[in-house]
Structure 1
Amino acid sequence: MPSETLLTIDDIDAMAYPAQALDDPSPVVAELVAAVEQGRVADDETAAHAYLLSAEITERAGDLAGALAYAEKAATVPGEDGLSRACYAELLVKSGREEEGRAVFEALRPELLEDPHACSYVGEALEACGLATVAQEWLAEAARTLAERTAKGDDDFTAVDTLFAVLTERHRIREDLELPHDDLDGLYHEMEAVADAPELQGQALLYWPEAELAQVLQRWPERADIYGLDWLDHRTNVERTLAGWSSSGVIHIALIPGSMAGLLAFATAEELDPADPETHADYAEQVGETTDGVEWPPQRNAPCWCASGVKYKKCCLPRSRA
């Protein structure tokens, strides 16, 4: 099958979107599953994404057994990430198979020390199936291990980033459980204060919303060397850039949308050539200084920053790992 006929994650998202408004979303789910089983998806990542969306839609429709079956398929896709297994474990517990679900969760536990995103997908999945106490206990142990690593002064920015993510997720869960603050909550507040300090505000990145990007690339096709070949490529580049900043120790990160009208107005006011890459860079700097950005990353269950309508954890988050 020619590669150009294969469905991407964006295509899968578009196929799944109508399910939100349907009383019976089963035809949408059937279409998603058929795309995978007929070999019409671009890669394993897209296959897992389609199965996860199928599980989410099916669970929302009240069919827990069906949702579990799709989550299991996602969890067994070659090269899947921990998110698929966390969703599978969550549905196992919800289905009354707690021992099996806990075993899957246990296998994911080491990732809490390595992946800044793991604390969210493991913590939220445990919480969603009634194991919030287990989540905060695991996160506490991970936080203490990571704190010991960072105390060695090895300039391990990934460990610092992961520690802050773990502390943030643990603090959120403990507040939901109405537990009193402890020493790790205190450490979270200390790190949060550092992140909020004016001199450490972090970085902001300009991106082009889908319609604006289309205008930019139509007028200046050569700017694909900066922004990517298309909307999928652009979002992947943006997510990877932000993930790179995060892994290097930047804590406060923001996204700022650009616009063709804004770029042209800036170029006119400054008497610059709007086609010049330097003008684009200057415009991005100007927008960053004058516009409040949207904090990145969104909560995993919040709508994605790209306005797809899909949850961040199932939309642009996986792009940074592709």
Structure 2
Amino acid sequence: MHVEYAEALEADAEISGQRCDDLVEASGYWHFADEHGREERALAAAAEVDDGRSVLSGRAAYASFLLTHGRREEGERAMAQLMHEGSECEWAYGEAAAGYQAIGAHQEALRWLNIGVQRFVPDLGAEVEVGDPGFELLRERADLRHRLGLPADQYDELLTRSEERSHEVFSQIEEIGRQQHAIPAVLYWPEAEFAEVQRRHPDWNPGLAHVEHRRFIQRTLTDHPTSAVIVAGALDDLVAFAESRELPLDDPATHAEYTSEAARLGQAAPWPPERNDACWCGSERKYKKCCGAPGFA
């Protein structure tokens, strides 16, 4: 599966207009497939086309690969060049820091995080929220400083304020979600759960393959383009729910009640995902390359 995903991403890189991002993402799948030669080739190609404006940084990823594969001198030369030229890609600074942490060079990792934070969070008085430029660097920097036993500084205090504010906003969103009972909730069985459903209750989805289940859910969701949530079902949870309410397990109405209750408790994902977000089905692929791919549904 990892090889299939990597090859698909490399093919997509030729036409997507996001060559650097696709190649870096492909390298991750080559890594999981233990195809480290192909991983390096993908990263070298990504570094070559990296203009510093992609979501992922080919140069930082390649330099990190060199550092962590016994080629420290080459890796540090690549890191030094990247540092000298700078990057508009926030991820570059976090990836460089991760590479140095992997080889135990924690102070060098902290230097990269410090520079990245100063670049993307120039105003200590600013309100920084989850998803804003610099937030992840602030978080990674605070984690590393804590592990190094360093006292909190102004940037750490900014992160604390930002996290508290984000928590307040998230709580408000959760409360709104609990109040919006009319929002449709769609029950999706992840692949492992679907296999268990087919084994224990073959009459629920007779003869249906999981890919067809995904297609059905995708078609159903497109009927609610901005007002649905997705509940990832767990068979044992459904059984426990039915028993607690003394409801018939095989009744579709019981499944609907279980789905609505899970959504009410916030155990659901919003629909629709952004094209570059992880797909709702749990494959860890981008939505646009998985269930949101043209023609899939």
1:145 aligns with 2:114: no
CA deviation after TM superposition for structure 1 residue 182, in Å = 0.5
Aligned partner of 1:176 in structure 2 is 147
Which residue, out of 108, 127, 136, partners 2:113? 136
Aligned partner of 1:286 in structure 2 is 261
1:88·1:101 contact (CA, 8 Å) conserved in 2? no
CA deviation after TM superposition for structure 1 residue 141, in Å = 0.4
Aligned partner of 2:214 in structure 1 is 228
CA deviation after TM superposition for structure 1 residue 218, in Å = 3.7
Aligned partner of 1:99 in structure 2 is 77
1:43 aligns with 2:33: no
CA deviation after TM superposition for structure 1 residue 273, in Å = 9.0
Bigger share in helix = 1
Within 2, Cα distance between the matches of 1:202 and 1:122? 34
Go from structure 1 to structure 2 and tell me whether the alpha carbon gap of 1:46 and 1:161 turns closer, same or farther (over 3 Å shift). closer
CA deviation after TM superposition for structure 1 residue 165, in Å = 2.3
Alignment of 1:1-322 (within 5 A): 11-12=1-2, 36=7, 43-44=12-13, 48-55=24-31, 68-69=40-41, 71-76=43-48, 82=56, 84-93=58-67, 95=71, 96-97=73-74, 98-104=76-82, 109-112=87-90, 120-128=94-102, 130=105, 131-145=108-122, 150=127, 161-197=132-168, 200=171, 208-213=189-194, 215=197, 218=205, 228-229=214-215, 257-260=232-235, 262-263=237-238, 266=242, 269=246, 275=252, 280=256, 282-288=257-263, 316=284, 319=286
Q: Which amino acid aligns with 1:72?
A: A
CA deviation after TM superposition for structure 1 residue 228, in Å = 3.5
1:231-253 CA distances to partner (integer Å, 9 max, x unpaired)? 9x89xx9xxx9xxx9xxxxxxxx
- For residue 109 of structure 1, give the secondary structure of its aligned residue in structure 2: coil
Go from structure 1 to structure 2 and tell me whether the alpha carbon gap of 1:105 and 1:69 turns closer, same or farther (over 3 Å shift). farther
Q: Which amino acid aligns with 2:113?
A: Q
- For residue 140 of structure 2, give the secondary structure of its aligned residue in structure 1: helix
Q: Which amino acid aligns with 1:188?
A: L
Within 2, Cα distance between the matches of 1:230 and 1:84? 37
Q: Identity over the aligned pairs, expressed in percent?
A: 19
Gaps of 5+ in 1: 1-10, 17-31, 152-156, 246-254, 294-303, 309-314
Q: Which amino acid aligns with 2:122?
A: T
**When the two structures are aligned, how many residues end up with a matched partner?**
239
Go from structure 1 to structure 2 and tell me whether the alpha carbon gap of 1:136 and 1:81 turns closer, same or farther (over 3 Å shift). closer
1:71·1:87 contact (CA, 8 Å) conserved in 2? yes
Go from structure 1 to structure 2 and tell me whether the alpha carbon gap of 1:69 and 1:211 turns closer, same or farther (over 3 Å shift). closer
1:209·1:257 contact (CA, 8 Å) conserved in 2? yes
Aligned partner of 2:272 in structure 1 is none
Higher relative contact order (CA 8 A, sep 6+): 1
2:10·2:22 contact (CA, 8 Å) conserved in 1? yes
Within 1, Cα distance between the matches of 2:80 and 2:94? 17
Within 2, Cα distance between the matches of 1:84 and 1:228? 33
CA deviation after TM superposition for structure 1 residue 187, in Å = 1.5
Q: Which amino acid aligns with 2:61?
A: C
1:93·1:99 contact (CA, 8 Å) conserved in 2? no
Within 2, Cα distance between the matches of 1:218 and 1:192? 43
Q: Which amino acid aligns with 2:111?
A: V
Higher Cα radius of gyration: 2
Q: Which amino acid aligns with 1:229?
A: R
Go from structure 1 to structure 2 and tell me whether the alpha carbon gap of 1:73 and 1:207 turns closer, same or farther (over 3 Å shift). farther
2:9·2:23 contact (CA, 8 Å) conserved in 1? no
Go from structure 1 to structure 2 and tell me whether the alpha carbon gap of 1:188 and 1:55 turns closer, same or farther (over 3 Å shift). same
CA deviation after TM superposition for structure 1 residue 183, in Å = 0.8
2:231·2:263 contact (CA, 8 Å) conserved in 1? yes
